[in-house]
Chain A
Amino acid sequence: MQATAALTVDHLPPQPPPNVIRFGMLTFLASEAMLFGGLIGGYIVLRSGAGPGWQMPEALKNPTTMAQTFVATIMLLSSSFTLHFSEVRILRGQRGGRLLLLLTLVLGGCFLANQAHEWFSLYHEGFWFNTAGIMGSSFFVLTGFHGMHVFIGALLLLAALVRTALGLITPERHAFLDCSSLYWHFVDIVWIFLFTILYIL
């Protein structure tokens, strides 16, 4: 009993109630939205300035890449649902919450793996920051910045998983999970915009 005491809820310092943390997190996400808004706005301005000269590279247009990215998109979006159901279960103290959290992480990991693969194949086709003009610059900045956010979100969820396993996230005390999941949902929403403007339009 004494050995595990340091890890139980009763021995942690008091925290402000979750709605404060949630409010802070949402405000922070508003600033993140403006950061992506800036980058996306820049992309739109540059692209509309380029007019018909704007050609997506072959590597992005071929059906295999499109199919792979589409599957990765579906995976990232469904990870939001698995995360939601995981959170619901953990907050209700039901079984299966941790498994769903793990599944979320796996889905996010698959998305990141696909992004990395795409970057490598583009690089080998000679499409990089400095070789493909503003199109290359914008593509890599947007996907790279988003990928970095997915990576950070995955780290947060991993930490949430560990904390759940250690009993630090409970139905009464779950601010960490709350914030990580808000962040994850935000990153997913950003990807919907990015996928639309980079791959579809």
Chain B
Amino acid sequence: MANGTSTIDVGTEEFPALPGQEKGTLTGWIQDLVFTVDHKKLGLLYIGTAWLFFVAAGIMATLIRLQVAWPGNHVVDPATFNALFTMHGTIMIFWVAMPLIFGFANYVVPLQIGARDMAFPRLNAFSFWLTFFSGCLLMFSYVAGPSLYGASGPPQVAWFALAPLTSRAFYPGPSVDYWSLSLLVSGIGSVTGGVNVMTTIFCYRTKGMTLYRMPLFTWATLTTMFLVVVFLPPLSAAQIMLTLQRYAGAKFFEPLAGGSPILWQHFFWIFGHPEVYILVLPAFGILSEVIPVFSRKPIFGYPMMVAAIVLIGFVSAGVWAHHMFTVGLNSFSVTFFAFATLVIAIPTGLKIFNWVGTMYGGKIRYELPMLFCLAFILQFLIAGLTGVMLGVAPFDWQLNDSYFVVAHFHYVIVGGIVFGIFAGTYYWYPKAFGRMMDNRLGLWHFWLFLIGFHLTFDPQHFSGILGMPRRIYTYQPGRGWEIWNLLSTIGAFFQAAGALLFVINLFWSAWKGKEAGEDPWDAWTLEWETTSPPPDYNFETLPEVRSRRPLWDLKHPEDPDWKFE
């Protein structure tokens, strides 16, 4: 308690082995992973699951790119192609991006707020295993045998599965049910996970950690989990209605019986648009952690950053119909949703200015996490600008369902979220494994992925403006699309090479990486106060938090932050 450090009395022994579990053997290790309720192990399990599905969905993406590489190509047959883009989209959103968000929330948030574990550790394990097995359920559609109806295999309905394509009449066989039920199960896992993280953040902050002193990653995760808890249930409701339509003969989305196919779109996008912010807010949070540490300055405009996060969260609830401009909404709705969409650009632009403001006049260290953040800022800016373009309804009427839209949302998700996740991985990897990630491999990864990303998605803006529709199987020569598609396909291979180096780096560095120590980046948030990797109980002692940068206060008692906040 003297010199500002409160000591927590904890037993420091290891958790006892489970009955029948042998420590230090392979089976013991597997049992440990399966039965664990520790937030750090579950976080790594989430992230590992995500990268596993990332490889699968990445291979699908490469096949898609190969198929449209040049006119009249026949790498896969049309049905397989339809299945490929459906599975690619669904897996990337629900079993790559979501588990990554939950993995980082799981691993980092309790450490950042000085908690021993999540609020409900067993519920945490439950959420993870639901996420994992729901992904397996969807993948199982690939190997499930032909049904009585002769139609099986993976679903071919695109990731938003518009009605009435999904009704029995147009889609017999179990494919759509795999899609629908796996999303329902993963939705339950995400909601319970969201409840858990929110409760942890509100109830388990350490002494002195007020909401206003919370690290920005924790703030972003809190808002994200709020969106998960509030906007995933409408999707689950829609999946329940779809399943009843397919099995009990309900008529919700059947136009002939008075149902409304547009209702499905409303349901899907009421979830679908907040989902974008569910994914991108934690990436914003990662940037807001990494940029100050590598610019050696506190974050510029912390209160504005928090306000922007929360504002984005709220406004995201009112923009979903900008995915539906072309279905024929009335002009009031079009105006409202176009306006709300443009409003989101304000808090997002504010964040970009604040990151640049943080770097301004700082001593920037061009380490790997910072490189990915710099790329993020540029790419997310462009992604946001094309988003503003598409948010203007007449522009969207022209380019909806074209490759321009594909380019836009891949800029958001790959150029934004995936780059943010890479930054977070390079930043927190030393904490999780006690070793630094290899710098040379990391640089190769960065440059290959950066070049690959731009080579893949920049040309798609042009092919989109030239009129190339999305989800098209093949096309005739002479429309001016050839060069863009070829470049795009070449870029996909650069990205694949970069991703491969990243995966190699993950394993190699855990084995041979340089020892990291507790605080390799000279950072300021609480997770760097404990050993790397942290013990089961996370912290032996915790400083009493008196400012937003508790470790700065510890390291610089002559010039603490709390004097100025």
Contacts and interface: CB of A to CB of B under 8 A. Distances in A.
- A and B interact physically: yes
Interface of A: 16, 19-20, 23-24, 27-28, 30-32, 34-39, 41-42, 45-46, 49-50, 53, 128-131, 133-134, 136-138, 140-141, 145
B250 interface: yes
Interface string B137-174: 00000000000000000000000000000000000000
Contact of B240 (A19, A23, A32, A145): A145
Interface of B, helix, strand, loop or mixed by DSSP:
helix
Contacts of B507: none
B381 interface: no
Nearest to B245: A137
Contacts of A37: 233-234
Contact of B263 (A45, A50, A130, A133): A45
Interface in B250-275: 250-252, 254, 257-260, 263, 266-267, 270
B120 interface: yes
Contact of A134 (B191, B195, B252): B252
A30 B263 contact: no
Interface stretch (B97-105, B197-205, B458-466): B197-205
B260 A34 contact: no
10 contacts: A24-B196, A31-B191, A38-B237, A38-B238, A39-B237, A39-B240, A42-B237, A42-B238, A137-B259, A141-B250
Given A24-B199, A34-B234, A42-B263, A137 B250 contact: yes
B111 interface: no
B234 A24 contact: no
A28 B204 CA distance: 18
Contacts of B250: 129-130, 134, 136-137, 140-141
A48 to B, nearest CB: 10
Given A34-B234, A46-B260, A137-B250, A28 B119 contact: no
B208 interface: no
Contacts of B194: 27, 31
A152 to B, nearest CB: 14
Q: Which 10 A-B residue pairings sit nearest by Cβ, starting from the closest?
A: A130-B249, A38-B237, A137-B250, A38-B234, A35-B233, A34-B233, A129-B248, A24-B199, A20-B203, A27-B195
A104 to B, nearest CB: 26
Given A34-B231, A129-B249, A141-B241, A27 B257 contact: no
Interface of B: 119-120, 123, 191-192, 194-196, 198-199, 202-204, 229-234, 236-238, 240-241, 244-245, 248-252, 254, 257-260, 263, 266-267, 270
Contacts of B123: 24
Contacts of A19: 203
B267 A38 contact: yes
Contacts of A30: 229-230
Contacts of B263: 42, 45-46
Q: Name, among A42, A140, A145, the residue most crowded by chain B CB atoms within 10 Å (CB to CB).
A: A42
Contact of B251 (A35, A38, A53, A130): A130
A141 to B, nearest CB: 6
A50 B252 CA distance: 12
A23 B202 contact: yes
Given A24-B195, A24-B199, A129-B249, A38 B260 contact: no
Nearest to B235: A38
A134 B251 contact: yes
A19 B119 CA distance: 11
Nearest to A145: B240
Given A19-B203, A24-B119, A145-B240, A35 B259 contact: no
Contacts of A28: 191-192, 195, 229
Contacts, number: 114
Q: Which of B195, B232, B270 has the most CB of A within 10 A?
A: B195
Given A39-B237, A137-B245, A46 B199 contact: no
A42 B119 contact: no
B202 A45 contact: no
A144 to B, nearest CB: 9
B328 to A, nearest CB: 14
Nearest to B197: A27
A30 B234 CA distance: 12
A42 B267 contact: yes
Contacts of A32: 233
A35 B234 contact: yes
A193 to B, nearest CB: 14
B275 to A, nearest CB: 14
A35 B258 contact: no
A120 B178 CA distance: 31
A89 B504 CA distance: 62
A50 B258 contact: yes
Contacts of B254: 134
A188 B120 CA distance: 27
Contacts of A128: 249
Given A30-B229, A42-B252, A45-B266, 16 more contacts: A20-B199, A23-B202, A23-B203, A27-B229, A28-B191, A31-B229, A31-B230, A34-B231, A38-B267, A39-B240, A45-B260, A50-B258, A131-B249, A134-B251, A134-B259, A137-B241
B237 A134 contact: no
A174 to B, nearest CB: 18
A42 B241 contact: yes
Contacts of A53: 258
Contact of B195 (A16, A31, A39, A145): A31
Contact of A133 (B195, B237, B251): B251
B232 to A, nearest CB: 7
A78 to B, nearest CB: 29
> Which of A38, A128, A133 has the most chain B CB within a 10 Å cutoff?
A38
Contacts of B251: 130, 133-134, 136-137
Nearest to A17: B203
Nearest to A25: B195
A129 B236 contact: no
Nearest to A54: B258
A79 to B, nearest CB: 25
A145 B240 CA distance: 10
A20 B200 CA distance: 8
A28 B194 CA distance: 9
Contacts of A130: 248-251
B258 A27 contact: no
A28 B236 CA distance: 14
B137 to A, nearest CB: 21
A131 B258 CA distance: 12
